[in-house]
Amino acid sequence: MNLHEEVEKARSNQSAIVLKDYFKIDVSWDRVLDFLYEQSLHPTKIISFEAHQERENALKNGAIIFGDIHMYPPLWIKSQSGKMWEMLPELKDYIEKLNEDTKFKERPKHCTCHLTNFNVAKRCNSTWHLSGMIVSLASKRISEHKDVDDFAYLQIVGKSYWRIAGKEETEFLLNPGDVILGPKEISHEVWGEGPRSGLLLMTPWK
């Protein structure tokens, strides 16, 4: 069973999938913070309607924007740039692996979302897409919510806890290298103990 079929099964079961040690990664805090610093210096370039919409929604929700970085209080940060493929190239290997294991026909190289100048570019319908790197440096708890598309989250540094509110409430702990995949229909809550960082991908498959 490929990952597409696994997520469809999770959708019908109203659950999520956790893949322990799915992608071995050794990214230090120094590299994560260097990436955020570089992105904060770049002038924001709005290259799509989606990018404009995301920026407007971020401002409405209390974000402060520095270049290609959206920062929400207290110290919850999301990047909006594909420049990480240059600064953290092993993450490109991860998205290639995830697309291969999902058995998508398209490859990321065929989608503009994966270019280094990506800024919420228009997405195709057949690959996992970069939503952004997420960094939390405070004890922010992300309250229960649903995502607009099916999601895949790779834990890079630190730990995160996920509570899934499906047919049965389940709770998962993610360590570096672990991945959680879930359908957009499930509600989930996320928190951590200490600083943490991860990579969020989305896909609008049908």
The domain ranges of the chain are: 3-203
Q: pLDDT of 16-32, one tens digit each?
A: 999 999 999 999 999 99
Q: pLDDT of 144-163, one tens digit each?
A: 999 988 999 999 999 999 99
Give this prediction's pTM: 0.89
Model confidence at 196, in pLDDT bands (50, 70, 90)?
Answer: very high
- CATH no. for 3-203: 2.60.120.10
**Helix (H), strand (E) counts: the chain:** 5, 12
| CB contact at 8 A, 57 and 67 | no
- For the cut 70, the answer to whether the pLDDT of residue 166 exceeds it is yes
- For the cut 70, the answer to whether the pLDDT of residue 43 exceeds it is no
Residue 158 Ramachandran class (φ > 0 left, ψ -120 to 50 alpha, else beta): left
Q: pLDDT of 87-143, one tens digit each?
A: 898 988 898 899 889 887 666 565 666 565 555 545 565 578 888 899 999 877 888
User: What is residue 133's predicted lDDT score, i.e. its pLDDT?
Assistant: 92
Write b or e for each residue in 104-127: b if 16 or more Cβ atoms lie within 10 A of its Cβ, otherwise e: beeebeebebbeeebbbbebbebb
CB within 8 Å of 18: residues ≥ 6 apart:
172, 174, 178, 179, 180
User: What is residue 15's predicted lDDT score, i.e. its pLDDT?
Assistant: 93
Low-confidence winner among 74-78, 103-107, 180-184, 193-197 (lowest mean pLDDT): 103-107
Mean pLDDT of the chain: 84
